[in-house]
Amino acid sequence: MGDPLLSAEDGVPAAEVPAALSDSTTPEPWKILVVDDDDEVHALTRLVLRHVRFRERPLQLIEADSAAAARECLRQHPDAALALVDVVMETPQAGLELVRHIREELGNHAIRLILRTGQPGQAPEQDVVMAYEIDDYRAKTEFSAQRMVTGVIASLRAFAYIAEVERLNGELEHRVAMRTAELERLAMLDPLTGAGNRRHLDDRAAREIDDQQRSAQPIGVVLIDLDHFKQVNDRWGHPAGDQVLQQVVRIAKAELRTSDFLARIGGEEFVILLPGESVRTAADVAERVRRAIENHPIDVSGLSIPVTASFGVTTMGVDNLLESALERADRALYAAKHGGRNRVVVAADP
């Protein structure tokens, strides 16, 4: 070989390279990509690094004889920690183009890169170091066994640090995303009852209307108002009233499908959206909820508080406006209240 990898005075026999005794279970190795079109370079690299370990992990050499072959190796081993890359291979710039491919096209900024060249004048060191994101650039005549081991260990230490930072950043981003999602979820809920709030109702109605326009399926709308709720607060106190609201929501949800949606839009006023349900079916659902509420007196600190509710039922109209549907349901609810309460009234066709 014209430009030996190991200089005679600096070469270190492999037996003298520090090594840890192998454990009974072999830990995952550090993957090192060796890219060179010279078989002797591969052989000497294997010789020098065959017993080297870093942080009790051995090295796994992945060999490629061209930049094109190295690209396929990187596709199969995206977790490679280090690449030792010859500059001049199938083309005079093959190694430099490979570096640019790794950093810019693959977007891999974790893998450490050491360039080796047998023709240092082909690509001046200062130009290469300034223009490319690499860790070291050496003429092969300079790259002794000691320097190879030192360079590899330093690169693996840097890779491990970057990998740990990326892991911690990933964990932080995940926690932030989870917290953001939780805050967004809470912002859509009524804090007292856990039912949807008005913002959530508007958002859900918009999505259901979009689905309705594609499927031509109706959307049932039920407006609920608890009867004489002010008397509950006046007689048993607001904490008891809060418990009544919470338990009414639990009772109502037990009568609904998972696809149905319940929201609290006022003090004791609720709305149910029933995707795919006609006004007749919506009225049946309302009647089922009404009976469930009537038949489940609310227990508050040993006191049994009777509760009933009135219902106004309609479906989303041709205008696809939630407000129009709520206005019709409200008129039906008014009729239910004035008809004696604790009943279901269906609005006129939209």
Position 130 scores a pLDDT of: 73
Tell me the average pLDDT across 23-39.
Answer: 86
Which residues, in sequence order, are CB contacts of 194 under 8 Å at separation 6+? 246, 249
Neighbours of 40 (CB within 10 A): 13
Position 350 scores a pLDDT of: 64
- Any idea which of 26-40, 129-143, 201-215 has the lowest mean pLDDT? 129-143
Summarize pLDDT for 269-307 with one digit per residue, the tens: 999 999 999 999 999 999 999 999 999 999 988 889 999
- Please count the structural domains in the chain: 2
Same domain, 69 and 130: yes
- Residue at 180 is within a domain: no
Residue 294 is a catalytic residue:
no
Q: What percent of the chain has pLDDT over 90?
A: 73
The parent domain of residue 26 ranges over: 14-169
Among residues 268, 269, 277, 294, which one is catalytic? 268
Q: Are 98 and 64 in contact (CB under 8 A)?
A: no
pLDDT at 96 over 70: yes
Tell me the average pLDDT across 26-37.
Answer: 93
- Any idea which of 81-85, 116-120, 161-165 has the lowest mean pLDDT? 116-120
Domain boundary among 169, 184, 207: 169
Same domain, 160 and 270: no
pLDDT at 192 over 90: yes
Tell me the average pLDDT across 15-27.
Answer: 50
Owner of token pair 């979009």: 210
Same domain, 143 and 24: yes
Same domain, 150 and 254: no
Q: Read off the DSSP letter of residue 16.
A: G
Tell me the average pLDDT across 84-110.
Answer: 93
Summarize pLDDT for 142-187 with one digit per residue, the tens: 778 898 999 999 999 999 999 899 899 999 999 999 998 888 888 8
- Residue at 6 is within a domain: no
Q: What is the CATH number of the domain that holds 224?
A: 3.30.70.270
Could you give the residue ranges of the DSSP H alpha helices within the chain? 39-49, 67-76, 94-100, 125-131, 145-187, 198-215, 229-236, 238-254, 279-294, 322-338
- Any idea which of 10-24, 43-57, 163-177 has the lowest mean pLDDT? 10-24
pLDDT at 1 over 60: no
Q: What is the CATH number of the domain that holds 140?
A: 3.40.50.2300
Same domain, 240 and 310: yes
Domain boundary among 150, 169, 188: 169
- Enumerate helices (H) and strands (E) in the chain, giving the number of each: 10, 13
Quick check: helix, strand or coil at residue 248? Answer: helix
CA separation for the pair 48, 12 (Å, rounded): 8
Same domain, 225 and 139: no
The answer to whether the pTM exceeds 0.75 is no
Q: What percent of the chain has pLDDT over 70?
A: 90
Position 21 scores a pLDDT of: 39
Same domain, 341 and 291: yes
Position 117 scores a pLDDT of: 84
Tell me the average pLDDT across 66-93.
Answer: 95
pLDDT at 129 over 80: no
Same domain, 205 and 153: no
pLDDT band per the 50, 70, 90 thresholds, residue 95: very high
Position 126 scores a pLDDT of: 61
Same domain, 37 and 80: yes
